[in-house]
């Protein structure tokens, strides 16, 4: 099938949906999403969304907290823009039907998380993402200008490359004409021509054996832009959430929200000794990079499998009221969090880097935007402040929509785009090879490119990766196209970017910690 659409949106999380709602006021929108529409990282968000709502909080305090958490690698102009937009954009989410918890006076019940100097996290108990996704999808489904293709997989964005032109990496002249989209049920690849394309494809957690991310998080958008020779940056900064539930074999790892620590939970060793004070004066509420490294160190020293989050001293009723999902989940595996400590370990959680964009979400490729976790806006620097991700998505999807609406009408559809060429594809019994290579890749990343790195481990990982890369490219050339081979290929592209950028960074900063570059004493 060949389809023409004014606005193509790839991804149905908070970034894709908020952008779609805005541009749909002017033109026709197609949202392509590789699973069910609500199967996104957004749906799993627990803690909430950071925004400045009341005094004593101020924009300047939130800006300062963001810069400190990011180890001063953030773009200050972008931080200022994002934070000063926070109140307006959150109010818009509320107008669209999202319900955040309020206290008896009707004011928002603002939570606190690591690195925040004030209570500023709006939430819906411990299921904030589920509530946001519900409200947005409710509006989307009833919008006359929006069509959704669920269970459709975007293979690649279309650029001049597909017209046979050779373009240089990061060249300013690359243009996006739409995307090739696979319907896995029929095996057909559709050519979708668009005036404006938005990549909102989420994160990369499945590069690792243990991640809080759902299965969809395979870095597809980032890999597509890299293959199209667009700009990708800061991929070395991968955030490990300090407290995922230690429950071996569970995928994705269940998150124990940082908001639990904001509520008074304390990290302890198996012997019940609080340890974070040894590492940072902010204790259990230090920024994530510091807490995850501290836990990593404690585990290496003790040889234990996990540390613990102690909530036993907290008011049991309030704890259950505020964290019903976490309470129920722990109880389901035999842990009553009001009486027992919760076993926790760090897990891959968030990619701070991604597709390089400007303040309007514009990538280096013309007519291609990126928003949400797949993008690198400059907000997070070397480490994201908790609950700034949902915020970043709504701010940049808004600014991207303003930019896209300015000139979309004058952009012609590129008629010369060829349909997908499946010539030469014969193999369709490669599943075991794909599964095995994915496991190998995850093992390499988990063992050599984790919380603590070194040049030796990174180089070893790169050498191993080269072998899997060659094997997979060969398989891809011969295979009948499938979601599984495409996702593996994307993960390998992203792993390459993480390794390349990690090796290029000759310092320890934020989430990138290398024993070869000990941090300078403050």
Of 120, 288, 293, 489, the catalytic one is 288
390, 445, 497, 499: which one binds ligand FAD (CB under 6 A) = 390
175 is catalytic: no
Peptide bond preceding 252 in cis form (omega within 30 of 0): yes
Return the exposure string of 102-117: e unless at least 16 CB atoms fall within 10 Å of the residue's CB, then b. eeeeeebbbbbbbbbe
Q: What would the two tokens of residue 102 be?
A: 């309020």
- Site map 384..413 versus ligand SIN, x via CB under 6 A: --xx-x------------------------
Count CB-CB contacts under 10 A for residue 84.
15
Q: Cα(184)–Cα(152) distance, rounded to whole angstroms? A: 7
Which residue is listed with tokens 């609950």?
A: 387
Which residue is listed with tokens 């008074």?
A: 264
* Nearest distance from C-beta of residue 148 to ligand FAD, angstroms: 10
* Nearest distance from C-beta of residue 322 to ligand SIN, angstroms: 12
Count CB-CB contacts under 10 A for residue 251.
13
5, 8, 9, 15: which one binds ligand FAD (CB under 6 A) = 15
CA atoms within 13 A on the CB side of 161: 21
Q: C-alpha distances in angstroms, 232 versus 110, 166, 350, 375?
A: 34, 19, 16, 8
Span near ligand FAD by CB under 6 A; candidates 7-15, 70-78, 187-195, 271-279? 7-15
Chain center to CA of 493? 16
Return the exposure string of 453-487: e unless at least 16 CB atoms fall within 10 Å of the residue's CB, then b. beeebbeebbebbeebbebbeebbeebebbbbbbb
Residues numbered 189-208 forming contacts with ligand FAD, rule: CB under 6 A: 200-203
Span near ligand SIN by CB under 6 A; candidates 59-67, 365-373, 382-390, 410-418? 382-390
Q: Work out what residue 472 binds among ligand SIN, ligand FAD, none; the CB cut-off runs from 5 to 8 Å by kind.
A: none
* Nearest distance from C-beta of residue 289 to ligand SIN, angstroms: 13
Comparing CB distances to ligand FAD, the nearer of 124 and 509 is 124
Q: Is 258 in the site for ligand SIN (CB under 6 A)?
A: yes
Q: Work out what residue 372 binds among ligand FAD, ligand SIN, none; the CB cut-off runs from 5 to 8 Å by kind.
A: ligand FAD
Comparing CB distances to ligand SIN, the nearer of 110 and 386 is 386
Residues numbered 37-56 forming contacts with ligand FAD, rule: CB under 6 A: 40-42, 44-49
Which residue is listed with tokens 């021509």?
A: 193
Q: Cα(75)–Cα(54) distance, rounded to whole angstroms? A: 25
Q: Is 383 in the site for ligand SIN (CB under 6 A)?
A: no
Q: How does DSSP assign 55-104, residue by residue?
A: TT--HHHHHHHHHHHTTT-S-HHHHHHHHHHHHHHHHHHHHTT----B-T
Comparing CB distances to ligand FAD, the nearer of 93 and 216 is 216
Span near ligand FAD by CB under 6 A; candidates 56-64, 98-106, 385-393, 458-466? 385-393
Residues numbered 4-63 forming contacts with ligand SIN, rule: CB under 6 A: 46-47
Count CB-CB contacts under 10 A for residue 281.
7
65, 118, 220, 430: which one binds ligand FAD (CB under 6 A) = 220
One-letter-per-residue 3-state SS of 105-119 = CCCECCECCCCCCCC
Comparing CB distances to ligand SIN, the nearer of 124 and 268 is 124
Comparing CB distances to ligand FAD, the nearer of 40 and 377 is 40
* Nearest distance from C-beta of residue 10 to ligand FAD, angstroms: 5
Comparing CB distances to ligand SIN, the nearer of 232 and 255 is 255
- Provide the binding-site residues for ligand SIN, judged by CB under 6 A: 46-47, 255, 257-259, 386-387, 389
Q: Give me the active site residues, please.
A: 288
- Provide the binding-site residues for ligand FAD, judged by CB under 6 A: 10-16, 32-35, 40-42, 44-49, 128-129, 153-154, 200-203, 212-213, 216, 220, 255, 350, 372-373, 387-390, 393
């Amino acid at each position: 099938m060949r389809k023409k659409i004014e606005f193509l949106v790839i991804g149905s999380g908070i970034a894709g949906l908020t952008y779609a709602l805005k541009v749909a006021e002017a033109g026709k929108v197609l949202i392509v999403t590789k699973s069910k529409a609500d199967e996104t990282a957004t749906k799993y968000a627990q803690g909430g969304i950071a925004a400045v709502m009341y005094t004593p909080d101020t924009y300047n305090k939130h800006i300062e907290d963001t810069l400190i958490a990011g180890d001063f690698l953030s773009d200050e102009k972008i931080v200022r823009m994002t934070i000063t937009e926070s109140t307006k954009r959150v109010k818009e989410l509320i107008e669209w039907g999202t319900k955040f918890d309020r206290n008896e006076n009707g004011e928002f019940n603002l939570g606190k998380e690591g690195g925040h100097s004030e209570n500023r996290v709006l939430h819906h108990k411990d299921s904030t993402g589920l509530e946001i996704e519900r409200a947005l999808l409710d509006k989307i489904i009833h919008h006359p200008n929006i069509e959704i293709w669920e269970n459709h997989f975007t293979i690649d964005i279309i650029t001049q490359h597909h017209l046979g032109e050779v373009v240089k990496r990061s060249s300013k002249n690359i243009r996006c004409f739409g995307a090739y989209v696979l319907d896995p049920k029929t095996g057909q690849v559709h050519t979708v021509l668009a005036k404006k394309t938005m990549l909102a494809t989420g994160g990369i957690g499945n590069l690792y054996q243990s991640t809080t991310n759902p299965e969809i998080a395979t870095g597809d958008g980032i890999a597509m832009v890299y293959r199209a020779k667009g700009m990708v940056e800061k991929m070395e900064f991968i955030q490990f959430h300090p407290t995922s539930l230690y429950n071996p074999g569970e995928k994705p790892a269940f998150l124990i929200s940082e908001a639990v620590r904001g509520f008074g939970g304390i990290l302890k060793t198996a012997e019940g000794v609080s340890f974070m004070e040894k590492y940072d004066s902010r204790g259990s509420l230090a920024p994530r990079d510091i807490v995850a490294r501290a836990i990593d160190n404690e585990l290496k020293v003790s040889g234990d499998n996990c540390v613990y989050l102690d909530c036993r001293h907290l008011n049991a009723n309030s704890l259950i009221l505020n964290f019903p999902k976490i309470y129920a989940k722990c109880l389901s595996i035999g842990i009553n969090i009001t009486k027992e400590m919760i076993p926790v370990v760090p897990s891959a959680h968030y990619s701070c880097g991604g597709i390089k964009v400007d303040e309007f979400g514009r990538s280096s490729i013309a007519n291609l935007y990126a928003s949400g976790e797949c993008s690198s806006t400059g907000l997070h620097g070397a480490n994201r402040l908790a609950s700034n991700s949902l915020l970043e998505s709504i701010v940049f999807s808004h600014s991207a929509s303003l930019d896209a609406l300015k000139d979309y009408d004058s952009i012609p559809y590129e008629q010369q785009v060829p349909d997908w060429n499946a010539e030469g594809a014969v193999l369709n019994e490669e599943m075991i090879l794909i599964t095995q290579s994915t496991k190998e890749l995850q093992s390499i990343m988990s063992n050599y490119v984790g919380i603590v790195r070194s040049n030796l481990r990174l180089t070893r990982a790169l050498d191993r990766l080269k072998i899997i890369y060659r094997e997979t490219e060969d398989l891809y050339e011969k295979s009948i196209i499938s979601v599984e081979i495409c996702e593996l290929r994307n993960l390998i592209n992203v792993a390459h970017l993480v390794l390349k950028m990690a090796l290029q960074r000759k310092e320890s900063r934020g989430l990138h910690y290398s024993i070869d570059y000990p941090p300078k004493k403050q």
